[in-house]
Amino acid sequence: MTQQTFTKVKETFIPSLNITLQEYEHNVTKAKHIHLANDDSNNVFLVGFLTVPEDSTGVAHILEHTALCGSENYPVRDPFFMMIRRSLNTFMNAFTSSDWTAYPFASQNKKDFYNLLDVYLDAAFFPQLEYLDFLQEGHRLEFSEIDNPESELVYKGVVFNEMKGAMSSIGSILYQELTKALFPTTTYHNNSGGDPEDIPNLTHEALVNFHKKHYHPSNSVFMTYGNMDPLEHQAVFEEKVLSKFDYQDFDFSVKDEKRYTEPQKFTATYPLPVDEPLEKQSHVINSWLLNPIMDADELMRARILSSVLVDNASSPLRLALETSDLGTAPSIFCGLEEGTREAFFSCGLEGANGDESEKINQLIVDTLIQVRDEGVPQESIEAALHQLELASREISGDRYPYGLRLIVDTLTPVLHGGEAYDALSFDESLKKMREEIQDRNFIPNLIDRLLLNNPHRVMLTVNPSHTLADERVAKEKARLAEIQSSLTEADKEKIIREAKALQARQSQIDDDSILPMVTREDIPKKLTFPELNYQEGVVLGSPTTNGMTYQSIVVDLPALTEEEMVILPFLDAFITEMGAGSRSYLEQQARISAVTGGVSARTMYQPYDGDIRGYWVLSGKALLDHSDALASLLRDIFFDARFDEVKRMQEIMAQIKVGREQGIVSNGHSYAMGVASQNISLISQLEQRLSGMQSIKDFREIEKRMKDDTECRAFGEKLAALLTKLQQSPYEIIVLNDSEQIEKIGQDFAAVMAHNVTEDVTRFSAPFSEHSEEKVYLGWAINAPVFYCAKSYKTVTRDHQDSPVFQVLTGFLRNGYLHRAIREQGGAYGGGANYNASSGAFNFFSYRDPRLEETLADFDASIVWLLENEHDEQQLEEAILGVISAIDRPKAPASEYGDRYFMAKYDRTPEDLEQYRAAVLNVTIDDLKRVAREYLANPDTHTAVLGPKAALEAAGFEVKQL
């Protein structure tokens, strides 16, 4: 088709990605359109705006939420969430970064793609931004008893509660304090998500004005990916949006930060529960502001330097930090940050004493001086280049669609005036770097120029406080009390009137027929499954891997004692981080970095024939040229891994402890569901023991014991004995790549791995034959001012005929009741229902929730709503579409082959999945009501909540704490 409203600026083929980069500019508004053309049917769209907040009221973040609450052509209350359930999307979301806002989606269905495009464009450029939606999504004042002006005044709002939860995470606190210190004069000084103390200062008028200023085509970039025609996309852009705008000469560009003339020191605090000791709980971080990310070669140099210094345990700066007694683990901020217009490099320690921050700062400088003066092995620099090439080649796509990953990687530099090609293709820059690194002073010069002689250095110490959390609560209460004391009668009436108006709006049923929709007729009739080539002891698959190979050893998990089962996760974590044979862990880590893109171990469990079947998997990935080296490396790890490096084991334990504890706040809903469902089945009890809240508590105790060298050696001996047991169990080799030499690669790998096994080994069975069926009513105290609530019911597992019904029921309850009650009315960031087909647990959950008892009551009320009301077929269709969309969602090519392999290991065939999918399509409303009456009618079921200790105790929970 011909499209004259855009001019093609350039077209470039990128061979390393097999993508054609097409760049266009709109003739009138100068809006950019960047299209990544290839043969992928999972097409992606994103529109992004440079959004530069001048304060921490969260205006960009709240606007992102509010824009999705109704638009000019779709004036319904919640078109975004309505479209989630009316489409076959493979991804839908909206993102607020520190300096941009983006609205992305992906779909494999052309009709669905253009349905979503229509709604997204209208939401971004023509949102209603109604006052009541601002109150719901942003912040509002409300009386705790909605009609009683004498009751306590409280803050409510989805983003307000989201950011309360987010800013209780130590990672968020550290990042915010770091950017505030590094960027004293530019937008990154502010919290773009919103500081809970500042969010109530945002007005509706300021929100509307921010949209008028920033959401204009002349300040936008349209980005697409996939096999659809970009000219068709442009026709829609023109008709729906661009024809209605003229060019405007915006300048929202972020300026260069005003540089410090000497290093600066900053201190801050973070809340720590009163039962945690204050000693060795500080975080000390050093950070240097570097060059703008638009300079591709300079950015590549910074990446190489960061990789050489901190990428793995053998890297000199990471080694100095890991082996220092000044802290327990390297900071989570060790490396290069590219999400701001000017990149910055950070390193530091956590688990430190704040009064020793000077020693830590000096350790970092001394190490940099030593590396500068002594240099680094050339192999380390070559390994850094190797890692960058791997990162540019790998086709990911499990968490986000691959095309979206490429687009997001490109978005920041493009919005700041950089070239899309430079963000996507590393080939030319890597070629140039290969020449530059031949200079033996390459790394020393970079250390001098970017770090040691760079005065824009921040030394940040963040100390724990037992009182900060209470101080924040008291401050908020005092602020609200002051507001309440000054309210006039008219003010009180306004608060009540707005609360009731919002309540009425949240309760109204919108006419969703104005929204586009796909139907069951648009669903593909058949799934496609990858084909595997089974040879003796070797399984081969040929996904598109872009010059990479994925190789694994899959071991049948043998019978284990309960102790062996409990320590198996430690073997998974340790085995790829230790030495092997005569190699120390430092030599082994250097070897891994030089020839692979990473190696890992994991254990898989699934119910099988009334028990549990398990597999232990050791995997790695590499460029095809290194397939033999990867095979040799995996062989050495499997047969010769060392567990006698005591200091190293203690370091790893400390790092794992930090990571697991810091992950609680961001995954609180999953942990809450795990606690609530722990007595549902053998597999749910196993999961709680090995990866749930109880496992984190147990891990703490083991980590404490392992600080004693004798205990640590004994633990290492247990791990070595467990590995010996795995070596004697039957195994298979898997090789996945698109090489014509795949059979030879597989045969060579099998030859390297050949060893004698015990063919009649007893397979794994749950070491506890029975699980407790005692009702769970449990709270876990966590360091957050919000709740994560869960209820769990025992239902059926995957092979039962009602399993597809429960899959559909999750979406039906979320769409019809839970989303409105928990998010819109209750103010939680998220909530819904979840069905675990492996354990047979049907769960309700909430996420970053200001409420506790009310949310638990909403879970129960959703069942009553289902059973006592008539429901139309449209609601059912939407719930079914959601399940089918999840089943059909593509993954990275190598992952799809891996999934196919493990389906077969658990005796699940493609026909089984086809039948399951067909059963989903045939679920009826009567089915939903039937299973609810049979399995979910008793509200007195398993309940778990993560949240503040005092509130849990007040609600009558038995409370555990880490």
Separation of alpha carbons 956 and 778, rounded Å: 9
**186 near 257, Cβ under 8 Å?**
yes
Classify 516 as helix, strand or coil: coil
- What number of other Cβ atoms are within 10 A of residue 441's Cβ? 11
What is the DSSP code string of 74-104?
--SS-HHHHHHTTS-EEEE--EE-SSEEEEE
The residue to which tokens 């970064």 are assigned: 97
Question: Which residue is it, tokens 């309210």?
Answer: 487
Q: How far is it, in rounded angstroms, from Cα 295 to Cα 318?
A: 27
3-state secondary structure string across 245-257: CCCCCCCCCCCCC
Choose among 245, 43, 25: nearest CA to 34: 25
For the record, the structure tokens of 724 come out as 């010996």
Task: Kindly name the residue from 25, 54, 64, 276 that is annotated as catalytic.
Answer: 64
- Type of residue at 687: E
CB 211, CB 72: distance < 8 Å: no
Residues pairing with 945 in the sheet: 779, 789
| 3-class secondary-structure state, position 340 | coil
Q: What HEC string does 297-310 produce?
A: HHHHHHHHHHHHHH
Active site annotation includes 64: yes
Dist. CA 680–CA 674, nearest whole Å: 10
871 Cβ neighbours under 8 A, 6+ residues apart: 812, 816, 925
Contacts of 442 (CB under 8 A, 6+ apart): 381, 436
SS3 145: coil
From the list 134, 171, 286, the residue with the least C-alpha distance to 666 is 171
Centre a 10 Å sphere on the Cβ of residue 900 and count the other Cβ atoms it contains: 19
Q: 910-921 vs 803-813: helix axis angle to the nearest 10?
A: 50
Q: Give the residue carrying structure tokens 């240099």.
A: 375
Alpha helices in 754-869 (DSSP H): 803-813, 853-868
Tokens of 430: 């890597």
Sign of CA dihedral 448, 449, 450, 453: positive
What residue ranges in 5-138 does DSSP mark as E strands?
6-14, 19-26, 32-37, 43-50, 89-92, 95-96, 100-107
Active-site annotation, residues: 64
